[in-house]
Structure formats: C-alpha cells, structure tokens
C-alpha cells in the first residue's frame, strides 16, 4: 500500500469499491456514506479520470471533494479491459485510489442470490453456480491489484459495517488502535480478516456438562463452571499477557485496527467466555474495543 493511498495518520481519501456480485459492495457503500465519503455507484471507467480530478489539491474544478468512494463493477461494460490501465494512469498523476475488493464463497453467494431473487449479471442460462464461478475467474486480475481483499462470507450487514467503520474511520490520534475480539466455532469456519487467532479447544467443554449444553458462554452458570477449571484461568492469563506485550508494538507501527479471533468447536461456550474475559482485560488497559460472538446462537 502506498503512502498516498493511506496516510500514516488517517484513512484514504479515494476508495474504489469492486468485487463479486452479491459480496457486500452495497453495504460497503452505505458504511462509507456514514463515514462522510461522497459515494457514486456504478461509475463508468471512462469517467474515472474526470471524477478523480475533483480530489486533487489545487484543482481548478469549481467543485472539490474531500474524500470519495466509488463502486465500479461488472455492470460497467468496459470494466475488465479498461480498469487496470486507468488505475495506472491515476497513480502516475499522484491520485492513488485505495482499491477495496469484496468476495465471498460460492455457497454464500448462491444463498444471497436465491434470497434476493435477483438474476446474476453473468448468468447465461447455465445456472447460478456457473455464473458465480465465471465472474470470479473474470475478476481475478482485478483482485490481484487490490489493496485490501475482504471475504464477506461470515459477515452480516452489521458486522461488515462495523469492520469498515473501524478500518476507515478517522482517528483523532494517529496511534489510536481499535481492537475487535470475535468468538467463533471452528466447525463453521474461521472468520476473515483475523490478525491473531487463539484456539481454546483444549479447555474443558461445558457442552458435556449436564444443564450447560444449551446455555451460551455469556451465562453465569457456564462462566462459573469454566472459572473453576484451573487451565481456563491460566490460558486467559497467558493470552492477556501476550496481548499486552503485542498491542504497543502494533500501535508503534501505526496499525489502526486489530482483529483477534478466539475459537472453540462450536463457538457457543468456551470461546465466548474467553473472548469476554480478554475484552475485560484489554478494556482495563484503556484501549478502544468491541467483542462479538459470531456463532453463539447456532
């Protein structure tokens, strides 16, 4: 990532949102609007240089834009052949867009299109899965030049918005760091965009304790059981010590966000409790933090 794409003390001023159909680009646009970006959906690639000039310092245009996010995807018929060359031209002019590429698994994209009942733009009569795979192949070259790739398979609209606001929000302090702790179940797959991952499947499992199986890890009865197990407190303490060592190093490098995954088998008991305790420990250190439990209701 170049310094013009994202300065050390703030988010990029110019973001291009692209990716697979159904992967979350519309939700991303809403998040960027909330962040104060001027957003344009489905801008023709040929208009990209003209629009980008509005972001130039000392622009002679009547209107100037402080920061913008543009959605450019396969609906624009010249996208594949023209976008890489236009991107190179912009970077030669010191207008360096931050290219954000969204994707998701075939299974998730199939479900989303089935739920919305919208036709896939690549559907040529060979079925939805074939259309998804054809688009994925066609966008491979665009994916390879992206600054950040986001797999939205495990995101909801709300968690995706939270991630983008945390990632691209303006920081009052250049060294501020937002931490997100996510509990999850390995049986449902690991979350995307995780920087650090802790596995707690070695801890005693409340699933096999009578009366605890159906309760979440936020329930005092589950937490009480786990707190009586010596290895649970030892594990949390060692994880917390490691994070207290690492976090100042991440801040020193100018990192603006850190995502920590805590996984157990089903994401309902052990990972939830440990994520809660790590969140409490880190909050006591004065960091900006949120805790989410991805699979606790499954």
**CA–CA separation, 28 and 104 (whole Å):** 14
Query: Taking the CA atoms of the chain, what radius of gyration do you get in angstroms?
Result: 22
* Domain extent listing, the chain: 14-168, 178-293
CATH number of 14-168: 3.40.50.300
Q: Do 293 and 218 meet the contact criterion of CB atoms below 8 Å apart?
A: yes
Helices (runs of H) and strands (runs of E) counted in the chain = 10, 9
pLDDT tens digits, 8-52: 446 788 899 999 999 999 999 999 998 889 999 888 887 888 888
Q: Exposed, middle or buried by CB within 10 Å (0-12, 13-18, 19+), for 56? A: middle
Q: Cα–Cα distances in Å, from 223 out to 80, 215, 262, 269, 294?
A: 53, 10, 16, 8, 18
Would the pTM of this model clear 0.75, i.e. be above it? no
pLDDT tens digits, 100-113: 999 999 999 999 99
Residue length of the chain:
298
Q: Do 218 and 280 meet the contact criterion of CB atoms below 8 Å apart?
A: no
Q: Do 69 and 37 meet the contact criterion of CB atoms below 8 Å apart?
A: yes
pLDDT tens digits, 150-193: 999 988 888 888 888 878 876 444 446 789 999 999 999 988 77
């Amino acid at each position: 990532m170049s310094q013009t794409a994202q300065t050390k003390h703030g988010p990029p001023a110019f973001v291009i949102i692209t990716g697979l159909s159904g992967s979350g680009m519309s939700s991303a646009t809403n998040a960027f609007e909330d962040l104060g970006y001027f957003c344009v959906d489905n801008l023709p690639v040929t208009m990209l240089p003209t629009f980008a000039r509005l972001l130039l310092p000392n622009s002679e245009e009547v209107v100037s834009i402080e920061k913008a996010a543009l959605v450019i995807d396969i609906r624009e018929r010249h996208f594949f052949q023209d976008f890489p060359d236009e991107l190179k031209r912009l970077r030669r002019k010191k207008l360096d867009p931050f290219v954000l590429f969204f994707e998701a698994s075939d299974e998730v994209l199939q479900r989303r299109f089935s739920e919305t009942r919208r036709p896939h733009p690549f559907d040529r009569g060979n079925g939805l899965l074939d259309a998804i795979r054809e688009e994925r192949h066609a966008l491979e070259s665009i994916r390879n030049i992206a600054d950040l790739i986001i797999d939205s398979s495990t995101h909801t609209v709300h968690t995706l918005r939270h991630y983008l606001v945390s990632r691209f929000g303006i920081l009052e302090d250049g060294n501020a760091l937002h931490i997100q702790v996510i509990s999850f179940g390995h049986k449902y797959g690991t979350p995307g965009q995780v920087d650090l991952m802790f596995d707690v499947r070695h801890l005693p499992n409340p699933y096999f304790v009578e009366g605890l199986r159906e309760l979440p890890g936020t329930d005092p009865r589950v937490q009480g059981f786990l707190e009586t197990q010596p290895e649970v407190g030892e594990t949390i303490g060692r994880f917390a010590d490691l994070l207290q060592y690492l976090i100042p190093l991440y801040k020193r490098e100018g990192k603006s966000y850190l995502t920590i995954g805590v996984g157990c088998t089903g994401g309902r008991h052990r990972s939830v409790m440990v994520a809660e305790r790590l969140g409490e420990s880190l909050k006591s250190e004065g960091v900006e933090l949120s805790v989410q439990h991805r699979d606790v209701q499954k």
